[in-house]
Chain A
Amino acid sequence: GAVVSQHPSRVICKSGTSVKIECRSLDFQATTMFWYRQFPKQSLMLMATSNEGSKATYEQGVEKDKFLINHASLTLSTLTVTSAHPEDSSFYICSAREDTYLEAFFGQGTRLTVV
């Protein structure tokens, strides 16, 4: 299957700072990328969907000014958590798909801890 690489796998940041998470499709062009958030022992909740070169579409209740998503190329999308607070601590997972693919492929996830 296709490979999606997500970095970093773990990050600890201080409250009030910003942190950037990268999601790269290594061997295909990701027409669409998805960002999910997963709380402990819970399911994945879609945060936003992004298409290359256009603004991301955020799900209801997700603050777009706090979770900045950039999909500047067909192989890279970034999620920046701005002015992070402890309640932003979570597991963030990206996935990517090319339009002809049936399924999306997932990155390894990023565990964010805000202290």
Chain B
Amino acid sequence: AQTVTQSQPEMSVQEAETVTLSCTYDTSESDYYLFWYKQPPSRQMILVIRQEAYKQQNATENRFSVNFQKAAKSFSLKISDSQLGDAAMYFCAYRRPGGYGGSQGNLIFGKGTKLSVKP
């Protein structure tokens, strides 16, 4: 079974600085998707960034980028120029490909990292 591990329960960053959140996963599959979700106090899950395992290039979305190391099964999130609005829980998630059949494409989440941003 696939597992996702986030080893940092809490992280703190100064406003405008850069922070990296760690995520490792375990799978025997070669094709899959990885995601970072943000959950603010409202508890609405917001997709931050996604990465397809077959792509070697690291995904980037504005101030958010990932360091995807497939061989090491590592998927860290870097937040540049941190803003107060970035404060939230961040969840790393793994998804198998597919829609029909047994996999269903459900997400497997890590335990989350609570990010605080200091003004």
Asked if B45 and A106 make an inter-chain contact with CB atoms under 8 angstroms apart, the answer reads yes
From A44, A49, A95, A102, B91 is in contact (CB under 8 Å) with A44
CA distance A108 to B106 in the complex (A): 18
- Pair count A-B, CB < 8 A: 56
CA distance A22 to B12 in the complex (A): 36
Asked if A46 and B106 make an inter-chain contact with CB atoms under 8 angstroms apart, the answer reads yes
| Chain B residues, CB < 8 A from A95 | 45, 107
> Which A residues lie at the B interface, using CB under 8 A?
1, 31-32, 34, 38, 42-44, 46, 49, 51, 57, 91, 93, 95, 97, 99-100, 102-104, 106, 108-109
Count B interface residues, CB 8 Å.
22
The 3 closest A-B pairs by CB, nearest first: A99-B99, A106-B45, A49-B104
Asked if B44 and A1 make an inter-chain contact with CB atoms under 8 angstroms apart, the answer reads no
| Chain A residues, CB < 8 A from B100 | 99
| Chain A residues, CB < 8 A from B105 | 32, 97, 99, 104
Asked if B106 and A103 make an inter-chain contact with CB atoms under 8 angstroms apart, the answer reads no
Asked if B112 and A1 make an inter-chain contact with CB atoms under 8 angstroms apart, the answer reads no
A32-B104 contact in complex given A106-B45, A109-B43, C-beta closer than 8 Å? yes
A31-B99 contact in complex given A42-B111, A46-B107, A109-B44, C-beta closer than 8 Å? yes
Please give me the residue from chain A that is nearest to B47 by CB atom: A103
In the complex, how many angstroms separate the beta carbon of B107 from the nearest chain A beta carbon? 7
Hey, what's the 0/1 contact readout for B103-119 against A, CB within 8 Å counting as 1? Answer: 01111111110000000
CA distance A109 to B37 in the complex (A): 15
Asked if B43 and A91 make an inter-chain contact with CB atoms under 8 angstroms apart, the answer reads yes
Please give me the residue from chain A that is nearest to B92 by CB atom: A43
CA distance A42 to B44 in the complex (A): 14
Please give me the residue from chain A that is nearest to B45 by CB atom: A106
Asked if B111 and A93 make an inter-chain contact with CB atoms under 8 angstroms apart, the answer reads no
| Chain A residues, CB < 8 A from B109 | 43-44
Most buried by B among A1, A38, A97, A103: A103
From A31, A46, A99, A103, B50 is in contact (CB under 8 Å) with A103
